[in-house]
Homo-oligomer: A and B are copies of this chain.
Amino acid sequence: MADLNVKIGSLTLKNPVMTASGTFGYGLEFADFIDLSRLGAIIVKGTTLHHREGNPYPRMAETPSGMLNAVGLQNKGVEYFIQKIYPEIKNIDTNMIVNVSGSTIDDYVATSAKIAALEKIPAIELNISCPNVKEGGMAFGTSCKSAGNVVKAVRQVYPGTLIVKLSPNVTDIAEIARAVEAEGADSVSLINTLLGMAIDAERRKPILSTVTGGLSGACVKPIALRMVWQVAKAVKVPIIGLGGIMNATDAVEFLLAGATAVQIGTANFIDPQITIKVIDGINGYLKRHGYNSVQEIIGLV
């Protein structure tokens, strides 16, 4: 076994494979399929200050080698998370990370502060890039100033490892990455979904209730890989790469492009055991090429 350990802020991951927010529930949904403790980290559902019903159905459309979703951050709010969900997941033996979303800076701050109090949640991922809710999310992630402002505010109340999740729907993602790094982010994760749309030609209607939604899956990999490569040259903090990772080779590509860890999202829907296969596959790759540690391949390209 090669050394698969990686560090993200003050977190040590037993391997670079995490699950992407919104695609893995709270982890428990996959407990029948895999040993959750083998994962590097689990990033749970997007959590907001208050309960959110999310967008109306339909929320999903299949696209060539991918899918659009318009879930819209449905969740029962941070208090419910703390009372009801945290007790259920806190003993899963991996890094449990909460993905935090909000509509205002105060929302982000309040939610992050509450999560900061949870002993078994060592990190948060600040979602400033959700394209599926009007008043917030993505808007923060599309300008350096607003992205920087959210991070600055949250940094003041959140002492744990602070990961900031970037939006790909921007002209220059490296610039945004630099802005959030400057305000104290410990790591950046990218990419969130690309804003897309699907139309039902027969019914002459958009397929999603919200018209547009977030594109994910294999189809976005070339774009995600390019962005990770660009950001890797722009910042010093570790990068978590994601977007279209469907197998171990894809994951290795992200590591080569400069990511210290990866997240797997949509691929979990197609193969609920994919995370374990990717971990084993990265190990196999390292062995085959004579590397002793995953560190050796990070950023080789």
Q: Which residues of A contact B (CB under 8 A)?
A: 61, 63-66, 68, 142-143, 169-171, 194-199, 201, 204-206, 211-212, 215, 218-223, 225-226, 229, 244, 246, 249, 252-253, 256-257, 285, 289, 297, 300-301
Contacts and interface: CB of A to CB of B under 8 A. Distances in A.
B199 A211 contact: no
Given A64-B221, A68-B222, A197-B222, 9 more contacts: A64-B218, A169-B171, A170-B171, A194-B222, A196-B225, A197-B226, A199-B257, A204-B297, A212-B229
A204 B256 contact: yes
A137 to B, nearest CB: 14
Nearest to A218: B64
A252 B65 CA distance: 20
Contacts of A229: 197, 211-212
Nearest to A205: B301
A297 to B, nearest CB: 7
Given A226-B197, A249-B201, A257-B197, A301 B206 contact: yes
Nearest to A198: B222
A218 B65 contact: yes
B195 A226 contact: yes
B244 A64 contact: yes
B65 A201 contact: no
Contacts of A201: 249, 252-253, 256, 285
Contacts of A64: 65-66, 218-219, 221, 244, 246
A221 B170 CA distance: 18
Nearest to A211: B229
Nearest to A257: B199
A23 B186 CA distance: 44
A174 to B, nearest CB: 12
A211 B289 CA distance: 22
B223 A196 contact: yes
16 contacts: A61-B222, A63-B219, A63-B222, A64-B65, A64-B219, A64-B244, A170-B170, A195-B226, A196-B225, A198-B253, A199-B225, A199-B253, A204-B297, A206-B301, A211-B229, A219-B219
A221 to B, nearest CB: 6
A196 B222 contact: yes
Contacts of A199: 225, 253, 256-257, 301
Contacts of A204: 256, 289, 297, 300-301
